[in-house]
Structure 1
Amino acid sequence: MTIKETLAPDGLDLSSGSFAKIPTREVRRGGTLAFFAWTLAVYDFILFGTLLPRIKESFGWSETTALLANTLVSIGVFIVVILVGLVVDRIGRRRGMMITVGGAAASSFLTGISTGMASLVGFRALSGFGMAEQSVNATYLNEVLALAESEKIRRNRGFIYSFVQTGWPIGALLAAAFIAGINGIFGEGSWRLSFIIATVPALFVLLLRKGIKETPQYRLHRYLDGLVKQGRKAEAEEIATNFGITLKQGSALREIFDARNRRNTIVLSLAWIVNYFGISTTSILGTTMLEGVKGVSANYSLLIVVLSNIVGAMGYIFHGWLGDKIGRKKVIILGWILAGGFWAAFVLGPSNIAFTMITYMGTLFFLLGPYAAILFYQAECFGSRVRGTGSSFIASMGQPGTIIASAALTGLVASGTGLGTAALWVGAGGMVLSGLLVLGAKHVEAVRH
């Protein structure tokens, strides 16, 4: 059977090896869904870190026990994130987005009815579905934006994607503002209600899935896999050659460690691990650090978190824009090293509120902002067949970073080291080291297909 006689998915010209352009309205619809999905995933994730001091009081935990709970939760989240990463190239980008949103909603509700350490850790592990959302989004939008009918969109893909990544600081902002409102109405013992109510917006996002289509790149690979299963491998190879891709050679996990991909997989995974030392210290445990290191009151710590995450949202947009201009790799390196400098100043500087706010804001601006660049960059590192697996695998390495950081903080505090000194070595050290590690990554041309 010739290629022209083969029934191909819509939008694919098999003989010429070209994809049909995606209308701007579909690009906007997909980007909107990705933004809301990521915002709510972060909202749920940050809710736990922000409310950890209240959860600690509710269960009568010590500081060490609370940090241990955070460490165990991180282990569970890592397991879930890595599992999602291993199947995202099998189930598809669109379905992956739906599963991750639903998992985050379930985690929020179940956390609200937890009864102790075991149930809390188990239920919070499901928030790994939400954390997997960012790599699924990056994979989906990398492929959609590359085929946008608008040349302006294709030229500014990193900048456009950065608006989706603002879901992190916006989600954190919403979490802090929501907690302040709930606490004001029901008191500080209302942390359970905060989690249960957080389920409702996630269910709304699931309704937005109508009209979101699977990416042409993923549909092509599924089509080629079908041809091979039908015994039409020669035809599949000809089509793959036309599109400049290769057929499935083995497991996707094995392929991201082959000679072509190994270096970036390892280097970027290590960078994520140590950068999450900073994420854990400054963002996930933000209120703990503000209250414990600088002596800020609970109300003021929430206010600082809110204002700092507004600045953090601008950081995403700035780094996304700059990455399109000078290269994503340079932006990542510079941003994370600067973030380490701001955090060192935060810990070592005076405790007056103005200095605390400026240094904390500067840390989040340069720490969070480069994620708009690195998520898009690492998706460009892989071919479309293993793009979801590669990007998700690297992003999942943030969880071992959280585990190691939590264990290090717990150990240092338990040994008598002050919380400030522990935050300096773990947080600032991780940020600077992660930036230096990215120096070892390959320069990658954007993968057009």
Structure 2
Amino acid sequence: MSAVPESDVTRVTNSFRRVGSRVTRKATIIAFFAWLFAVFDFIMFGTLLPQISASFGWDNAMASLVSTLVSATTAVIALAVGPITDRIGRRKGMILTVSGTAMASALSSVTPSAPYLIGVRSLGGLGLSEQAVNATYLTEIYAVTSDEKIKRRRGLIYSLVQGAFPLGVLLASAWVAIFLPVIGWRGCFLLAVFPAVLIALMRRGLRESPQFELELQLRRLRKQGRAAEASELARSYGVDERPAAPLAAIFRGQALRNTLVLGAAWFINAAGMQLFAVLGTTVLTEGKHVSFTNSLVLLIVANAVGYLGYVAHGFLGDRLGRRNVIAFGWIISGILFALMLTVANGTFAVVILYSLGLFFLVGPYAAMLFYMGECYDTTCRATGTGFLNALSQPGAIVAGSIVTAMLASGSNWAHATLLVGAVGTFVSGFVMFGARKAAVLQG
């Protein structure tokens, strides 16, 4: 199996001016908290869905339909974020995504009906894109940082950032458990606005990546009619001197294979993410007959274990190759969730299998997001990562539609989740073997 061809992250590291250790660590910390609160808002919707459904009198099929339509509208927004970020820059793109998180929470708190909720939750596509923009920015920053400790362990360090996913789920579960009895589901959404606004303000102090600064300089030269100078400058940095539309670039040449394979893997794996991560409370309450209160406690425990999964997969990805770590993780996860749904009896068995299932389901995304950043050049990196990231939503739509149809025809949550979520997670692992192994990035 051949390796991913070198992107400009690999080729031109020594040509760019270095980013200092302080700037690198500041960017890492802010990226962590931005993703934490984006996940917090995204998961809080799924966690509160049973309560929202009860307040509006929706049955299981209606709740599943709302969730599916939210995924559809979210996908439309998420698909646009990558090309926008490749156009306006990483820094502005990151401000845009976290601002969208704040707006989604604020508007959700005043929901009067299902159509309104579906519309405002589409803004969650901005928050969902947070991880793709983070991966784009940090891939570039880590390649040119003067902090050798981070550079040598960039996959592991990025896993700490991406690990905000299970911590965001944990925070959302704890937040709901504490505040739901006091201020209701509307108040839970409203309070979530403030941390997202704070992160948006903090991001204004970040600097743009050197790679994108070069891209802006090349654009200015071409716009001024100085194409020869632009080509010479691009060659001196080892980047692609041919300007191209970002979306077209990810479907041509050596980028095409991984775009297709990783896109398919994201699409299929979305079934597991939608059912076991986003709709975890619904699966546990309806599928395993766990009380809503106990399901929140279970989610807190499981996602604490899930964070360790991110760190473990980030560490192993640096050493064993990101592709293989992702593939085996998802295969194991599918098996564990199938066992939870079919043979687990009692709270203890459900907690163990659900926790381990999340360990191997969400953990590989630490390797996946960084791996995606390695696959593309600066001109299309945000578009590539954003496109792949957005495919999770069509995958969630298809999974949700199948589950909705199964529930409407008389099936139960356990059976539907087994056939759609556990099997989908298992299959997505095998799809990953079709991708190229990640190139080892040299400092």
CA contact (8 A) 2:326 2:429 kept: yes
TM-score by length of structure 1 reads 0.94
Mapping for residues 273-284 of structure 1, pairs under 5 Å: 273-284=267-278
Q: Distance in 1 between matches of 2:379 and 2:323?
A: 23
What is the RMSD of the two structures over their aligned residues, measured on CA atoms? 1.4
Q: Secondary structure at the match of 1:444?
A: coil
Q: Distance in 2 between matches of 1:336 and 1:47?
A: 24
1:249 positional shift: 3.1
CA contact (8 A) 2:321 2:438 kept: no
CA contact (8 A) 2:337 2:353 kept: yes
Name 1:192's counterpart in structure 2: 186
Q: Distance in 2 between matches of 1:262 and 1:301?
A: 42
1:248 positional shift: 4.2
Q: Which consecutive unaligned segments of at least 5 residues does structure 1 have?
A: 1-14
Q: Distance in 1 between matches of 2:148 and 2:190?
A: 43
Mapping for residues 396-411 of structure 1, pairs under 5 Å: 396-411=390-405
Q: Secondary structure at the match of 1:208?
A: helix
1:150 positional shift: 2.0
Distance 1:437 1:125, change over 3 A: same
Q: Secondary structure at the match of 2:417?
A: helix
Q: Which consecutive unaligned segments of at least 5 residues does structure 2 have?
A: 1-11
CA contact (8 A) 1:68 1:406 kept: yes
Name 2:330's counterpart in structure 1: 336
Q: Deviations over 1:269-309 (max 9, x none)?
A: 11001101000110111001111111111111000001101
Q: Distance in 2 between matches of 1:396 and 1:58?
A: 30
Q: Distance in 2 between matches of 1:378 and 1:328?
A: 10
1:446 positional shift: 4.5
Name 1:85's counterpart in structure 2: 82
Q: Distance in 2 between matches of 1:274 and 1:399?
A: 10
Name 1:36's counterpart in structure 2: 33
1:247 positional shift: 2.6
Q: Distance in 1 between matches of 2:441 and 2:132?
A: 16
Q: Secondary structure at the match of 2:430?
A: helix
CA contact (8 A) 2:322 2:438 kept: no
CA contact (8 A) 2:98 2:130 kept: yes
Q: Secondary structure at the match of 2:318?
A: helix
Q: Which runs of 4+ in 1 moved over 2 A?
A: 183-186, 247-250, 446-449
Distance 1:295 1:59, change over 3 A: same
Name 1:148's counterpart in structure 2: 145
AA aligned to 2:136 is: T
Q: Distance in 2 between matches of 1:370 and 1:125?
A: 26
CA contact (8 A) 1:17 1:242 kept: no
Mapping for residues 281-296 of structure 1, pairs under 5 Å: 281-296=275-290
CA contact (8 A) 2:13 2:144 kept: no
Name 1:213's counterpart in structure 2: 207
Name 2:389's counterpart in structure 1: 395
1:210 positional shift: 4.2
Percent of pairs with identical residues: 43
Name 2:373's counterpart in structure 1: 379
Distance 1:83 1:448, change over 3 A: farther
Distance 1:446 1:218, change over 3 A: farther
1:447 positional shift: 5.6
Name 1:263's counterpart in structure 2: 257
Mapping for residues 109-188 of structure 1, pairs under 5 Å: 109-186=106-183
Match of 1:204 among 198, 201, 207: 198
CA contact (8 A) 2:306 2:358 kept: yes
Q: Deviations over 1:375-425 (max 9, x none)?
A: 000110111211111111111100011101111111111112222111111
AA aligned to 2:436 is: K
Distance 1:235 1:75, change over 3 A: same
1:17 positional shift: 7.3
Match of 1:345 among 330, 339, 347: 339
Q: Secondary structure at the match of 1:219?
A: helix
CA contact (8 A) 2:105 2:189 kept: yes
Q: Distance in 2 between matches of 1:139 and 1:424?
A: 34
CA contact (8 A) 1:347 1:420 kept: yes
Distance 1:16 1:431, change over 3 A: closer
Q: Distance in 2 between matches of 1:302 and 1:257?
A: 42
Q: Distance in 1 between matches of 2:82 and 2:103?
A: 19
Name 1:251's counterpart in structure 2: 245
Q: Deviations over 1:16-73 (max 9, x none)?
A: 9711111110001000110011000000000000000000001111111110000110
Q: Secondary structure at the match of 2:203?
A: coil
- Alignment partner of 1:75 is 2:72: yes
CA contact (8 A) 2:307 2:363 kept: yes
Distance 1:228 1:17, change over 3 A: farther
Distance 1:386 1:407, change over 3 A: same
1:90 positional shift: 0.3
Q: Secondary structure at the match of 1:129?
A: helix
Match of 1:55 among 52, 56, 64: 52
CA contact (8 A) 2:321 2:437 kept: no
AA aligned to 1:85 is: G
CA contact (8 A) 1:35 1:164 kept: yes
Please say which of residues 435-444 and 132-141 is displaced more in the overlay: 435-444
CA contact (8 A) 1:17 1:239 kept: no
CA contact (8 A) 2:37 2:168 kept: yes
CA contact (8 A) 1:73 1:124 kept: yes
CA contact (8 A) 1:286 1:305 kept: yes
Name 1:242's counterpart in structure 2: 236
Name 1:7's counterpart in structure 2: none
Please say which of residues 203-212 and 309-318 is displaced more in the overlay: 203-212
CA contact (8 A) 1:412 1:422 kept: yes
Q: Distance in 2 between matches of 1:194 and 1:219?
A: 40
**Structure number with higher relative contact order (C-alpha < 8 Å, ≥ 6 residues apart):** 2
Q: Distance in 2 between matches of 1:140 and 1:31?
A: 10
